[in-house]
Amino acid sequence: MQIEKQRKYSSVTVRRRYLLTLGGAALAAPFILRSGLAQGAWPEQTTIPDILKGSGEVRIAGYGGTVQEAQQKAQFQPFEKATGIKVRDFPGADWAKVKAMVDTGNVGWDVVHLGHANAIDLMKTGDYLEKIDYSLIDDGVRREYRFEYDLGMMVHAQVMGYRTDAFRGATPASWADFWDIQKFPGDRAMYGVGPAYPELEFALMAAGVPPDKLYPLDIDKALASYDKIKKSVVKWWTTGAQPTQMLTDREVVMATVYGHRMAALQEQGVPVAISWNQGVAKFDTWGIPRGARNKVNAMKFVAYTTMPIPQARFALAIPVGPVNEAAQKYIPPQRLVVLPSAPEIKKQVVPYNYEWWAANRERAAAKFTKWLLG
């Protein structure tokens, strides 16, 4: 059903200009609207369908940090006000914890922030998530973000982040540059420790594999590429906050990062930037653990946060792309062009192949871990 009944977003005043150097370059200015656009100027959800109203509570597990802070302001608090359902949110979302909760029958979360690959992994091993009730979901949510057991809620990208004061004016613009220790000297940080999803795509592009020829990934070739940079990677990070903190503290000059997490650093004046070129385009989802105590409220929450205006508010709070096509009309043009869902950025990033990773994660992670410890 179409549940958007919202007033037209009026023009807003944005004090700060956002400059984007396209064609594989970095953001030239901070791209967070924390001080650039007052929250009072955000679009307001004036009405919601009666079916989304209720009582009681819903317990949300998020990833914490700036993402969850943005969700609280843009979505959680407005949802509570509009529906009468109290939101209790917690950091530490983890698909392995969801599995343990369901296995023990002690399900403490009603909604959990997941990567789509996490949802696939969960459902490969058992019935760990509830089906999404699509009778509640807005028609504007694009088809590629609709799945039986999870629903897309934000678009983001895993990219290269670097300190702009590290290379005497030189600008890294590809993974070959990230791997080039002579031209861009200094320590690096990358992701991949544990039963995770190592950044094989980046290693292969550094080795010269064209972005459109990445999949199926050649794991052995990727590990051979990693050999060339292993000594310069001083940290294999496990949480999204680690590489941005290391860049801030000058512990590294370059790192793989979630692009939206760099916004807070730029807002604080840290001399950092990202390169969209050859980044990996991803999206995160909401999942409802099987046996959630507040399943009905969880469905209402998932439906509300994927409506156009809540999606637009989230994109204004932190630079992530909306999954609801109709959200774009509530986002100022100067904001739209710096989101990972922007057409010019989508041309530069590589779509993450969730199906390949679902079929090969265990094998890839095992080989990567053996290489790392070898």
| Segment 342-365, tens digit of pLDDT | 999 999 999 999 999 989 999 999
Domains contained in the chain, CATH given: 39-155+283-350 (3.40.190.10), 158-281+351-373 (3.40.190.10)
Q: Distances in Å between the alpha carbon of 109 and those of 1, 93, 131, 291, 303?
A: 27, 9, 16, 10, 17
Among 251, 259, 252, 253, which Cα is nearest to 275's? 259
Among 154, 119, 184, 72, which Cα is nearest to 324's? 154
Q: Band of the pLDDT at 46, cuts 50, 70, 90?
A: confident
pLDDT at position 333 over 70: yes
Residue range 280-284: average pLDDT? 97
Q: 3-class DSSP state for residue 259?
A: helix
Q: Band of the pLDDT at 40, cuts 50, 70, 90?
A: low
Rounded-to-integer distance, Cα 313 and Cα 63, Å: 18
Whether the CB-CB separation of 244 and 261 falls below 8 Å is answered with yes
pLDDT digits (tens, 9 = 90+) for 58-104: 999 999 888 999 999 999 999 999 999 999 999 999 999 999 999 99
User: Kind and range of the H or E element at 242?
Assistant: helix 241-248
Q: Band of the pLDDT at 264, cuts 50, 70, 90?
A: confident
Whether the CB-CB separation of 167 and 302 falls below 8 Å is answered with no
Rounded-to-integer distance, Cα 250 and Cα 107, Å: 41
Whether the CB-CB separation of 82 and 48 falls below 8 Å is answered with yes
Among 62, 52, 59, which Cα is nearest to 83's? 52
- 120: Cα separation from own chain's centroid: 17
Q: How many residues are recorded in the chain?
A: 374
Max intra-chain CA distance, the chain: 62
The amino acid occupying position 294 is N
Which single residue is written with the structure tokens 């005497």? 168
pLDDT digits (tens, 9 = 90+) for 182-231: 999 999 999 987 657 899 999 999 999 999 999 999 999 999 999 999 99
pLDDT at position 41 over 90: no
